[in-house]
Amino acid sequence: MIWVTRLNGEKFVINSDHIEIVEANPDTVITLTNGDKYIVKESVDEIIEKVIEFRRKIFADLFRFDKR
């Protein structure tokens, strides 16, 4: 799950596992696998970084759990 910001400044969480497409038109549009679309303030690169960071955290927690 990643935090993103609507154009009106409202923050919300999106399930990054359901992201199908992220594009700039010039606003950033996130399309989910169910076809829902969200326009957000973050750039495409920022969305990519948020997803990478989220997955890093999950895998780090997973490996930490395995070592116990």
Q: What is the mean pLDDT of residues 51-63?
A: 86
pLDDT digits (tens, 9 = 90+) for 33-46: 999 999 999 999 99
Structural domain that includes position 17: 2-66
Residue 63 clears pLDDT 80, i.e. is over it: no
Q: What is the pTM of this model?
A: 0.84
* Number of structural domains found in the chain: 1
For 6, list phi and psi in degrees, rounded to 5.
-70, 165
Residue 62 clears pLDDT 80, i.e. is over it: no
Give residue 39's pLDDT: 98
Tokens of 61: 């927690």
Give residue 68's pLDDT: 54
The secondary structure of the chain in percent helix, strand, coil, rounded to multiples of 5, reads 40, 35, 25
